[in-house]
Amino acid sequence: MFRFLFLVVAGFVALSVYAPDVAQDLLRRGRDAFVAFQQGSEPVSVEPTAKDNNAGGYVRIRADYSGHYVSDVDFNGRRLRAIVDTGATLVALRYEDARSLGLITPSDRFDIQVSTANGSTRAKRVRLRSIRVGSIEIHDVEAMVLDQGALAQNLLGMSFLRRLARFEFKKNVLELER
């Protein structure tokens, strides 16, 4: 046990000498994860900035401790958590969240076969009246609801992102601009 601990500490010391930026990033992520664990949730950071204006909006989302860009998002006026996913063609909603939004009923048919990072599942296409992230709002967005249990987290996919003027990843920050 002590030998393992010694190797871990020695490895971290060597890392901090030869790659201090990496070591500092690991410490920051560890601290963020510990704080998130204590608070019972992942850190979420949506920062409106001075660039906000009535014609569009500008939002910055900081990466969470795992490197994902997680944000509180208003889907049809209801706030839910979502991961920004440039690999998702459409916005993808969890079955349970879509039910609570009134987008589907238990008798709806999920007749589209889709491939996800977790394998194949069935889905149903829907349209969202609006999606809002911070000061950015997009109307009439195509989305999919995945079959019950197929999705752990809502995904803010390209059907939303491609309608922005730009989205850009800079270090640990995702910038969205309308």
In whole angstroms, give the CA distance from residue 71 to residue 170.
17
- pLDDT tens digit string along 163-178? 999 999 999 999 999 9
Are 57 and 178 contacting, i.e. CB atoms less than 8 angstroms apart?
Answer: yes
> Which pLDDT tens digit goes with each residue over 78-125?
999 999 999 999 999 999 999 999 999 999 999 999 988 788 999 999
DSSP for 1-22, written as a single string = -HHHHHHHHHHHHHHHHH-HHH
pLDDT, residue 105, reads: 95
Look at residues 128, 44, 143 and name the one whose alpha carbon lies nearest to residue 93: 143
Helices (H), 19-170: 20-39, 95-100, 158-161
Between CA 71 and CA 79 the distance in angstroms is: 10
- Position 7 pLDDT exceeds 70: no
pLDDT at 33: 47
State residue 28's pLDDT score: 53
More confident residue, 122 or 30: 122
Residue of 82, 89, 102 whose CA lies nearest to 141? 89
- Mean pLDDT (the chain, rounded): 81
C-alpha 146/C-alpha 170 separation (Å) is 31
| 76 pLDDT more than 80 | yes
Mean pLDDT of 132-145: 98
The whole-angstrom separation of Cα 112 and Cα 28 is 42
Report if pTM > 0.85: no
Neighbouring residues of 99: CB distance < 8 A, sequence distance ≥ 6:
105, 106
CA-to-CA distance for 91 and 24, rounded, in angstroms? 34
Instruction: Dig out the tokens for 16 from the structure.
Output: 């901090």
